[in-house]
Every structure is written in C-alpha cells, then in structure tokens.
A and B are shown apart, each in its own frame.
Chain A
Amino acid sequence: MFHTRTLGLISSAAVLVLLAACTSNKPASSEAGGITVDSSADKCAVSTDTVGSGTLTFSVKNSGSDVTEFYLLADDGLRVVSEVENVGPGLTRNLTVNAKPGSYFTACKPGMVGDGIKAAFTVTDSGAQVGPTGDEATQHAAAAASYVSYVKDQSEQLLTKTEKFHAAYLAGDDDLARSLFAPTRMHWERIEPVAESFGDLDPSMDLREADLEEGQEWTGWHRIEKDLWPPTAEDNGGKTYTALTDAERTKYADKLLADTKDLNTRVHAADFTLEVDQIANGAIALLDEVANGKVTGEEEIWSHTDLWDFQANVDGAKVAYGTVRDIVAAKDPALATKVDERIAALQKLLDAQKSGDGWVLYDALSQADIKAFSDAVNALGESLGELTTTILGG
C-alpha cells in the first residue's frame, strides 16, 4: 500500500523551489566531517560557518522544547536551498545537501514560527564536482505534470472498461465479464498507489476476502471475482458457495462503478498534484505490491489472473521511473543503467509467460518460474529504493 507517501501529506511548496533538496538520514558518523547544528529555544549553533563545496551533512539536534526546523537559505536569506522539518525535542535528524560555492544562510526555526534564527554561511570552492543543479525545479515540475497526466488517462480507461464490465455482469453474460475482468483491473493496478492514497476507496474497491474484519461487508472487485469464478466447497473453507442473487449483483456492480467514477473525479480535481518524490516512491510501492501479493498468487485467488496485475504494477513503475529517469541519469548514471537493466530483465520474464492476449494463469506457473519472478522483483525493488534519495540529493 501507499500510506505515508499519500498525496497531499507532503505538500510543502518548498519542494518546488529547491535548488538542491534534502533528505533525512541517520546521524552522520564523525569521520564523515558532518556539521552539527544545535537548535535550542533561542540559539542556532552551527559548528562552523565556512565549509568547502560538495556534499554537506548537517546533523540537526533539537535541544529545545518545541518542534524545530532547519534551513539552508540562498544568499538572499529567503529562498530555501534545503530544509529538514518536524524535528521533535531531543531528536537529531540529518540534512544532506549538494552545495555549490557561494554565500548562504543557516536558519533554525524553533516552534516553526517566525523568520528563524539566521546566520551567514559560506561555501568555498573545494574543487569538488557538484552535480548539475541546472533548473531542477523545472525538471521536477515537468516530471510531475507528466505523471499526473498518466494517472488521469489510466483512470479514464479504467472507468470506460468498468462500465462495459458492469454491463456484461448485470446482463448475466458471465463469459464476457470474465474476459473483461483482468484487462480492466490492469488500469487500476497501474495507478494503485494513487488509488490507495484515497484511503476510503481502496477498502471499498480492492479488499480481498481475507482482509475483512468480522462482520464487515465485502464489496469491490474481488467480491465479484469470487462470484464469477465460484470456488468449490473445498476451496471455500468447506462451505458450499452460494451465487449472488440478481439484486446482490446489481448492488455490488453499481457500487464498484460509482467508486470508479468517484476515483476518476478525484484525480481530475484541480488540486490533484504530485511531487517528484511521491512519484519515485510510487514506483517503489508498485514493486512492493508485486512482491507482497502478486508473486505469491494471493491477489486473485479465484481467477488466478495475477500476472495481469503483475504486468500492470510493472507498467506503472516503469512510467513513474520514466518520468524521473533524466533527473536520475544526470545525478547517478550507473543507477539509471541498473534500473533499466533490471526492468528489462523482469519484463523478459513476464513476456515468457504471455499467452494469447494475456498471460498464463498463476496456478500454471512452476515453482522455478515463481522463484525467478521473486528474484527479479527483489533486484529491481532494491535499486528503485535508491531513486528518491538520488532525486532529492544526498
């Protein structure tokens, strides 16, 4: 799922004005030559006011009693170069910045109010190559806009196909409904982290039977899946499966369609935006989905169409990665190459299981096939894990 990466939670406008952004990390070891910052109620004690250019690590300790923030500001004392926020009292958090030579200001903001306690800070030319800062803000904005367009497009296609699925299912044309099921869900799976970020829609649309709380009503795709691929009593905990009545079919199909429309409305809202780090995290979240549910065949336990979801998650991750690839390649070409290779390796495995317009069913995979998928997902997941910090710097 996609909880803390949810849209809107990381909404700080500051992200867009970064020259070189920030990341939190574990406290620097002493040999790393880190700069210590002691943020108290009325002081912002920085261990040095002059350093050589390159990668700087500020270890920000909050020795006050209020929540504090620390900023590296540009020479006008206003533009945020990088920042770390939400440092609780007593806690230490790291801020890593790629800094070019120039004049800056450091600032602590205990209590998160006011202008902060500022001091001049100088970065001298150490000769170190500092990554191309270019116009990253523009790059980030372009990546975000591109990905938002993709989300909207997938949501529209999901709605169109869900309407057809809804019609077939309610008309009692179960063969048609079964054939539409997996291809329609692919549009959901491609943007799953975004859909899940609307906390109320995911439980209503995509809950598996085992995910239910006792007494909770089961709705959504998997409820209908079970009705289209009714299990034997043996596969149903010893109970004979009772097909849904026409009234129940109508109820669940209408609800699914209404939820899908709701999702489409939300991603088309004017205030629906994404930050570049959310996109990178979204790619990681999609691979987590594959690792946790699809590799193990737990997502589609009745239809066994897990490989459609698998491909769709990979599609979504590829697109998310594609929108930030230039930024990554400029900063860490080796990482970009590695991700490219690992995506290709995973896609090759998926292609090998193609069958007609789709894929073989999960229960036709051998243990060796599943193991190969698992290894490829782990390899790609590990390198995608480096994306966010590479994009944000540090």
Chain B
Amino acid sequence: MSDVPEAHDAPDRSPDQARAVSRRAMLGMTGAGLALGLGAGLGGAALTRTRSAGGAESAQVYPFTGVHQAGIDTPAQDRLHMAAFDVVATSRDDLVDLLRRWTYAASRMTAGLPAAESGTTGGSYHAPPEDTGEAADLPAAGLTITFGFGPSLFTAADGTDRFGLASRQPALLTDLPHFPADALIDAKCGGDLVVQACADDPQVAVHAIRNLARIGFGTVSVRWSQLGYGRTSSTSTSQSTPRNLFGFKDGTANLKAESPALLEKHVWVDAQDDPGATWLAGGSYLVARRINMTIETWDRQALSEQETVIGRTKDSGAPLSGGEEFTDPDFARVGRDGVPLIAVDSHVALTHPDQNDGNQMLRRGYNFTYGSDGLGRLYAGLFFLAYVRNPATQYIPMQNRIARDDLLSEYLKHTGSGIWAVPPGVSPGSVLDPETGAYIGESLFA
C-alpha cells in the first residue's frame, strides 16, 4: 500500500505519570533561570522522586560527554524519537555551526535542562520562547541524543563533494544494497544527518527532536522522523528482555554494556579499521530499518507455528532445543525423524552469532504503531536499530539471508532504511557553548 498513514499520532501518555518534580519545579525552587546552569548533578538528585510506574530510570541523567556518544551502550530507554535531516545549507561553516548549536542544546536537554539558557519563559516577552516548553515539567527521563552522518553528507548522488568531506568518507559508509523483498519508501530512507533521541518519557524524546529541528531550520530540513515505544532489546544485563509486537521476547542474545570486550570487538570502530577515516575511531555504524509487521496474519497462526518460526517458546523465550531463556540454542539437537528442534529456517537459527561467523550486533530497536491503515489493519512494526563496527560483515550478509530464507520474513515488510557513521563522543571536560565550543563530529572537520 502506498497510501499508508503517516506518523501523526504520538503514542498515548500513560495516565500514571506523576510529574511532581520537574524542570519547571526546579526553576521555581531555585528561583531564577540562571540556576539551571547548575546542571545535571543537582538536577538528577532533585528529580529522583518522579513517576514510580514508569520505572526508576525516569529521573535518570546520563552524561552527554564521553569516549563514545551516549545512547548506544546506554541501557535502552523505553521511548524513541528519531529524525533524519538533509542539509540544505551549502557552506561547511554553516554545517559546523549547526553541529555546535546542536551539541550545546543536546548537552543541556540530556541534563534535564531547557534547550537554551533562557528556557521557556526566561527570555524577552516580545520574543518566541527559546525552548518550546512541553518538557518543562519533566525530568531528564534518561534522555540520550546520538548523532550520525549519512553517506550523502560526504558525497551527493551526482558525485559532488558537498562540504569537502568526500576524501574522509569511510569506505564502509555506503548505501545498503537492495535486499530480497525490500519495499522501501524513498521518503522513509536515508538522510544526511540522523539524530536518535531516547528517553523513558515520550514527551521528553519528542521535545528533544522538536527543539533540535527548530534550531536547524534554514540549515537542515527534516527528511523523516520516527516514533517508537517499547524497547525491543535490552542493552544491559540489568534489564529484562522485552517483547516485540509478535509477542515474543526480543534481544535475548543482544550485546550488552556489561561485556566491554565484546563491544570493542563488535561495536566500536578502531583507529586502525579505516586509514581514510580515523576520525571515526571510538564511533560506530548505525543501521536503521523500518520493518512493518503483518500483525493480523501473524495473530491467526497456531502457537506451534509461531514458535517454529521464531525458534523459541512464546512464554519463557527458551530455545526449542530446551532450557531457559538464556540457555544457548543447540541447533544440532534433533527430535522425531531427525528433524532439528530449532528449524533451520527459524529466526533464531538464521540470526544467531553461531550461524553468522560469530558476528554480533548491538540492537536497540523499538516497536511502533501508527494506528490503523486504510484497510483497518494495525499499521505497526519494529523500528530496527543496530550499532555495528562493520556493516559489511555484521549486517548485510545476515539481512540477505534472513530476507530470503527466514520463516519470519513472510510476516515482515521493510519500508525504511538508512546507514550512518556515528562519530565518537565529545571529550569529558570540554567547553560546550554554541559559538566556539567542542562539538559532535569535530574530528571529521579537523
């Protein structure tokens, strides 16, 4: 269907979100806009009493600076707002200026502060508020904002070196190939820049992208944006494994923050990886796939069929070869007539590291639902996000295989796609200001 609904509807707020202490309350308590500059430490401490139903993370503050950008190995938050932008400015200076302003605003918002110092009401009465205000009553909610650079930022489709960056384009940063059964909608694909905002409160994530988009008007144009609710992976052993919209646990075998050696091996780009793009050291590659699910058809499959397709039980998530959720699947174990207990074309069999030369990904996807399509069917799916050190070995071969062979593919349709190089983080202790401060991606422009 080409006439699918667009993302008009933000997921509903849950009614039990108490917002007793908030950005605005902070302002009130301290009595002046200037006090907002006190930053994350105090904010985090003052905001810990919020929203019990939303989980203890709701007042969580993650540091914006670091060797790596936050929002990758950070414990996956519950909500996503992600936007891809095309750069409409033609000057390299304008691009750098935007990245500086974005970096500054992101550093503030992730600390639970308004996007600009004057906040929502601290500026001129005769000027539009610098911060849009809808998160004024809300804590940081674990917000992380992660930036990436798409292939088209370096080289335009016609080969133009747009910003003098072509010579620094990583060899692996090229558009993904066409995969079997791809049904991509061009307007949902690609983008010169991408910004991933994750938080435990949807309004905080939406606020972040909204304010960054506003800062970018004139320099960038929003190409698409995507809302997600319900993380579909856990990126920390402290988190339980969530379920995707097929009702199965998802991300059991995901890479987790507690395994730094595996992250070094599979997620973080090393300075030696690409001599032409050493600026990316400490960064990663982000692959996004907007995967629509044919919910109604799936729902009428027998439980036996559903479990066969996935290769795990629906209740505990144990592999069909036996054990519990975190038991390693035994693909060699056979049942009656020598047929493997885990079907060779099940999702687990085709995606498990053992079947992919040991390759792993750090997945960070989200469920999405935009209400119903024109035929009364749920317009829903999984917004797949994966961070990898090398998409050519860690993502592309596996996606080719599962698109062709995976039993699950019958119920999936990939409608959006993108790949970005995610630069390293801004060094802790750096001066951040919108005029001359350090900024995300500075190593690329150095």
Contact = CB atoms under 8 A, between A and B. Distances in A.
Given A89-B322, A89-B323, A385 B410 contact: no
A176 B407 CA distance: 38
B375 interface: yes
Contacts of B183: 210
Contacts of B300: 284, 288, 381-382, 384-385
A385 B302 contact: yes
A371 B180 contact: no
Interface in A294-330: 295-296
Given A4-B308, A27-B315, A288 B297 contact: yes
B298 to A, nearest CB: 9
A80 B305 CA distance: 23
Contacts of A129: none
* 3 closest residue pairs by CB, A with B: A88-B322, A86-B335, A89-B322
Given A4-B305, A67-B335, A210-B182, A90 B322 contact: yes
Given A67-B335, A112-B335, A26 B297 contact: no
A211 to B, nearest CB: 5
Interface of A: 1, 3-5, 9, 11-12, 23-27, 62, 67, 69, 85-86, 88-91, 112, 210-214, 216, 281, 284, 288, 291-292, 295-296, 367, 370-371, 374-375, 378, 381-382, 384-385, 388-389
Contacts of A1: 410
A276 to B, nearest CB: 15
B337 A12 contact: yes
A86 to B, nearest CB: 3
Given A27-B315, A211-B180, A291-B294, A88 B410 contact: no
A86 B305 contact: no
A5 B324 CA distance: 26
Contact of B309 (A4, A86, A211): A4
A67 B294 contact: no
Contact of A62 (B297, B301, B302, B322): B322
Interface of B: 1, 3, 177-183, 294, 296-297, 300-305, 308-309, 313-315, 318-324, 327, 333-337, 339, 341, 343, 345, 374-377, 400, 403-404, 407, 410
B433 to A, nearest CB: 46
Contacts of A62: 322
29 contacts: A3-B407, A4-B407, A23-B302, A23-B304, A25-B303, A26-B303, A26-B314, A62-B322, A88-B318, A88-B321, A88-B322, A89-B321, A89-B322, A90-B322, A91-B322, A112-B335, A212-B180, A213-B180, A213-B400, A214-B177, A214-B178, A214-B400, A288-B300, A295-B375, A371-B375, A371-B376, A381-B297, A382-B300, A385-B300
B427 to A, nearest CB: 40
Q: Which of B314, B322, B324 has the most CB of A within 10 A?
A: B322
B341 A67 contact: yes
Contact of B320 (A23, A91, A378): A91
A69 B297 CA distance: 30
Contacts of A296: 1, 375
Contact of A213 (B179, B313, B315): B179
Contacts of B400: 213-214
A106 B400 CA distance: 46
Contacts of B181: 210-211
